[in-house]
């Protein structure tokens, strides 16, 4: 399935009307770009209204106590839909485990390796977000990480689902799905590119022109 990687309510509303999206992911970089100085709670409530399914909101605190308090505040906005995005670290694993034991869904983010993904799944993450583009920035492919994580999750019957993010090209989407990602979170620009194929557009024009020229 697809999630949309955006915090723009108008854009989210438009793309959810296509019927192909199942959730939304945000992060501090996206929110800083899309929302600027807008109050975070206000913007997330707008995102919730414009979408369906889980909405991931990322923690920015760095200590366990502060992260848990921040998570409590975000989760209270919409307990049935807010998914707490927890940056991967030893502290992040503690927070993920603590939230999971309380029934709060988490999305463990900034995962770059199989080892990290496996630890995040063991800690109780509902989602494990593997960053395809940023892995490629380090000089190697993300597909083996996705494949090994999916195989281990299925072998050990872990509850985590793999989200692949940091999508920069159409091929990233195809490779992530082929490698076993449960979900790909796509930026709006990439989702729009998925619509287009010149042969499709040429064929539609041909069919419509033939219909217009038919004998009446």
- Residues paired with residue 184 on neighbouring β-strands, in sequence order: 2, 164
CA 71 to CA 82: how far, in whole Å? 10
**129: which DSSP letter?**
E
Task: Tell me if residue 85 is catalytic.
Answer: yes
Answer for the pair 59, 84: CB distance below 8 angstroms, yes or no: yes
Closest CA to 43 of 54, 53, 55: 55
The two three-digit tokens of residue 198, written as one number: 């010149």
- Phi and psi at 69, nearest 5°, equal -70, -40
Of the residues 85, 193, 199, 216, only one is catalytic, namely 85
In sign, the C-alpha dihedral spanning 117, 118, 119, 120 is positive
**Strand ranges for the chain from DSSP E:** 2-5, 21-25, 55-58, 82-87, 106-111, 127-131, 161-165, 183-186
Query: What positions carry a catalytic annotation?
Result: 85
């Amino acid at each position: 399935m697809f999630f949309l990687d955006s915090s723009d309510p108008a854009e989210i509303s438009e793309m959810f009307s296509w019927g192909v999206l199942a959730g939304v992911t945000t992060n501090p970089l996206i929110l800083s770009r899309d929302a600027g100085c807008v109050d975070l709670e206000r913007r997330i409530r707008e995102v919730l209204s414009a979408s369906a399914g889980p909405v991931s909101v990322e923690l920015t605190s760095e200590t366990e106590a502060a992260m848990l308090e921040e998570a409590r505040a975000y989760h209270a906005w919409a307990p049935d839909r807010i998914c707490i995005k927890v940056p991967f670290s030893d502290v992040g694993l503690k927070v993920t485990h603590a939230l999971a034991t309380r029934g709060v869904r988490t999305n463990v983010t900034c995962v770059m390796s199989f080892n990290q993904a496996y630890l995040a799944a063991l800690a109780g993450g509902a989602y494990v977000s593997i960053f395809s583009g940023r892995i490629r920035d380090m000089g190697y492919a993300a597909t083996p990480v996705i494949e090994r994580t999916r195989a281990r999750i299925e072998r050990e019957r872990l509850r985590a689902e793999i989200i692949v993010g940091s999508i920069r090209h159409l091929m990233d989407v195809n490779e992530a799905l082929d490698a076993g990602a449960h979900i790909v979170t796509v930026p709006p620009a990439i989702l729009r590119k998925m619509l287009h194929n010149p042969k499709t557009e040429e064929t539609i024009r041909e069919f419509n022109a033939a219909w217009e020229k038919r004998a009446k």
